[in-house]
Amino acid sequence: MYKYIYATISRLYYTKVPSTGIGLFRCLFGLVTLQEIAFLLYFNHLIFDPIPYMDVEFPMIPFFLGLWGVAASFICIGFRCQQSIIVNYIFWIVFVNFTPMQRDFDGGFDIFMIGTNFFLIFMPTDKSFAIDILRKKLQRPFVHYSDYLKKDVSVLAYTIPVTICLGFLYFDSAIHKLFAEHWRNGLGAWLPASMPYYVSPINMTWLLNNELLQKTIGYTLFIFQFSFVFLVHKKQLRPLFFLVGAGLHLGIILTLNIYSFGIGMLVFYCLVMPFSWYRRIATFMTAKAPLLTVFYDQQCPLCCRTILTLNHFDLFKTIDFKQAQAYSTEYQALNKIPAEILMKDLYALDNNKNLYAGVDTYAQILIKMHYLAPVGYLLKAPLIYQLASHYYRKIADSRSRIVCAEQCVSETQTSGYPSLYEHVFEKKISNDVKQNIHKISKILILIFLLQINTSIHYGLFYRLDLLKNTSVISNNISNISNSIILFSTNFLGITPHALYLHDHFEGYNHIVAITYQDKQGNETWLPLVSPDGRMESPNWGRVHSMWANIAVTSNIDQQRLSKFIMKTTAFWGIKSGLDLDATIFNIKLKKITSPTIWVKDLLKSNLSGDWKTIGSAHWQKNTLHFDLPENITPL
């Protein structure tokens, strides 16, 4: 087996593909993290305070979330990629494992984000769409930008994270689905989308009422998840898996209100998209011919750095930058300009032979780049144009005094330390390459064994009740397995993926909401659950999980429900401007159904039921007093 893995890794190690997908994935991964940080800041007091606004246990949380946001922003723009990704990885581990996020506010994709972040550390994230590329260019200003054309990377940078983060996840999830009756009936996608707590604001009744289509979707998901890890890397099948997988997670975003999970998974498909598609998109987006030719002084380090910067942001390659010393005799418009003047300005020619200089050149460059055209037109506006011309002239006339550091002349100068990817995948010595391939093979086998341990422990032994054996040997094996799972979950993101199965929905035939009396005596719904039973915006993600998966379950625990009634009434009551001590909150219960067979208009039926007041709660001196029945049971 090891020989097969080693041979496969060796073959893929030398297979080169575009780095575009990894760069795009890094940007979007950073954005997903940023939106989650913004979510945590908004719900800071609900998630981290024992009693929202009244008992603030972690006052420094916003500060650390701000630091985390800086790291995530750096990931988005590709600034100090590897360091930012490592910092981001640490923040994910700390917040998920050492705050209430772990127990009460599981976002549904936290462990997935940790695992993905781990592999990002070893990926060539600075090769595309990164400021780090520009930083390297600016350190060697006299090296022409054409020498920095995007280089291809090893296909392993795509294959490994896709196989482990998606392939193993899907396969493990499919094993658990085998034990859920509604999934075996082909209704795995239909049932969650028919439950009020889980649906998005979009009316998908027309889709849910098509039994044949719903079962087709359900069984397709089974086949897709079981086969993904084995077939996704087949060149002929990759487009199919990309379209089905991207469609699956887009459907989750549109149908359910677990947006962070859906978007986080969808972003991963940047690594699944066929490589030929990236090449075709790049060809389509690149201008067939330059729209503007810019001439610069090749002996001026400031000019060279300016050109490198402008070229870096010329996404559609509409600008052609030429060295004035080499091309001045080839263009009639430039022949008329004395050499000593030609070197003092940045000149440009468009396709109509119009000549531009100074600030006009910059304006034309921005306009011809298309996406920066508004900035270019703004630069030509009165007052702004005169001000820009003044500062441009001042800098241009003094640039001859700018001295280039000695190292910027060297064409072999490199910046900083090599990334982990470069250290592993860009070795030139044959023996080093072989050693790296052996290391990669052994590490992948270890990760595979960690995943097998999790899948067998929870997917088979737990589901088949084989862990009830009380013998010393079985107990020791179970304890060792649990210890290994604790490590692999917290640091590698390897965890059971038993989402929305029978043990979640079986008996889930009631939902709970909260109302209060306003100053006019009218009953008003707390902005948590709407009158029809949907979760109100923006209570999605981990807040939805808190209420729909922990507070309200198939078997409601009064102590647990009381805890979250306390947190939500305090948080939303104060945010709504209520005088808590003068407000009575009503606890309401509504009957719903969660069948394992298809029922027409189930969502409509679950949304239209009547609510019954089962108790009340009121605050008095920072303490919430309840009037609830001892056993909260279905109506």
CB 173 within 8 A of CB 225: yes
Dump pLDDT digits (tens) for 119-172.
999 999 999 999 999 998 888 888 877 666 667 899 999 999 999 999 999 998
Q: What is the pLDDT of residue 120?
A: 96
Tokens describing residue 575: 């945010």
Residues in the chain: 635
Task: Say whether pLDDT at 191 is over 50.
Answer: yes
**Which helix H or strand E contains 585, and what residues bound it?**
strand 584-591
617 CB-near residues (< 8 Å, 6+ apart): 565, 566, 569, 584, 585, 587, 624, 625, 626, 627, 628
Q: What is the pLDDT of residue 192?
A: 93
Q: What is the pLDDT of residue 411?
A: 47
Mean pLDDT, residues 423-448 = 86
Task: Say whether pLDDT at 224 is over 90.
Answer: yes
63 CB-near residues (< 8 Å, 6+ apart): none
The type of residue at 329 is T
Q: What is the pLDDT of residue 554?
A: 86
| Residue whose structure tokens are 């609900």 | 46
Tokens describing residue 373: 């055209």
Mean pLDDT, residues 349-360 = 91
Task: Say whether pLDDT at 401 is over 50.
Answer: no
d(CA 449, CA 492): 13
Task: Say whether pLDDT at 383 is over 90.
Answer: yes
Q: Would you say the pTM of this structure is higher than 0.85?
A: yes
Average pLDDT, the chain: 88
Tokens describing residue 186: 């082909």
| Residue whose structure tokens are 């979510």 | 39
Q: Which residue has the higher pLDDT, 192 or 476?
A: 192
DSSP, res 552: S
Q: What is the pLDDT of residue 464?
A: 64
Q: What is the pLDDT of residue 423?
A: 84
Q: List, as one string, the DSSP characters of 116-176.
A: HHHHHTTS-TTSSS-HHHHHHHHTSTTS-GGGGPPPPEETHHHHHHIIIIIIIHHHHHHHH
Task: Say whether pLDDT at 474 is over 80.
Answer: no
Residue-wise burial string across 443-454, b where 16 or more C-beta atoms lie within 10 A, e elsewhere: ebeebeebbebb
Tokens describing residue 178: 């085998």
Mean pLDDT, residues 572-577 = 93
Tokens describing residue 300: 């001026």
| Residue whose structure tokens are 């209704």 | 187
Dump pLDDT digits (tens) for 484-520.
888 888 888 888 877 777 678 888 999 999 999 877 7
- Quick one: pLDDT band at residue 469, thresholds 50, 70, 90? low
Q: What is the pLDDT of residue 416?
A: 57
**Measuring CA to CA, how many Å separate 89 from each of 22, 86, 510?**
17, 5, 38
Percent with pLDDT over 70 in the chain: 92
Q: List, as one string, the DSSP characters of 370-382.
A: STTHHHHHHHTST
Residue 306 CA to its chain's centroid (Å) = 33
CB 18 within 8 A of CB 279: yes
What dihedral do alpha carbons 367, 370, 373, 376 form, nearest 10°? Answer: -30
Cβ atoms within 10 Å of 589's Cβ, excluding its own: 20
E-state strands within 203-354: 292-296, 319-323, 347-350
| Residue whose structure tokens are 């429900």 | 561
d(CA 397, CA 53): 59
| Residue whose structure tokens are 């005799």 | 329
DSSP-derived 3-state class of residue 600: coil
The type of residue at 242 is F
Tokens describing residue 476: 């020791």
Cis ω on the peptide bond leading into residue 274 (within 30° of 0)? no
d(CA 554, CA 512): 12
Mean pLDDT, residues 301-323 = 90
Give the highest mean pLDDT range of 254-268, 409-423, 444-458: 254-268
- Quick one: pLDDT band at residue 635, thresholds 50, 70, 90? very low
* Lowest-pLDDT choice from 322-336, 465-479, 546-560: 465-479
**Which helix H or strand E contains 221, and what residues bound it?**
helix 211-231
Dump pLDDT digits (tens) for 581-612.
989 999 999 999 999 999 999 999 999 989 99
Tokens describing residue 114: 């940790």
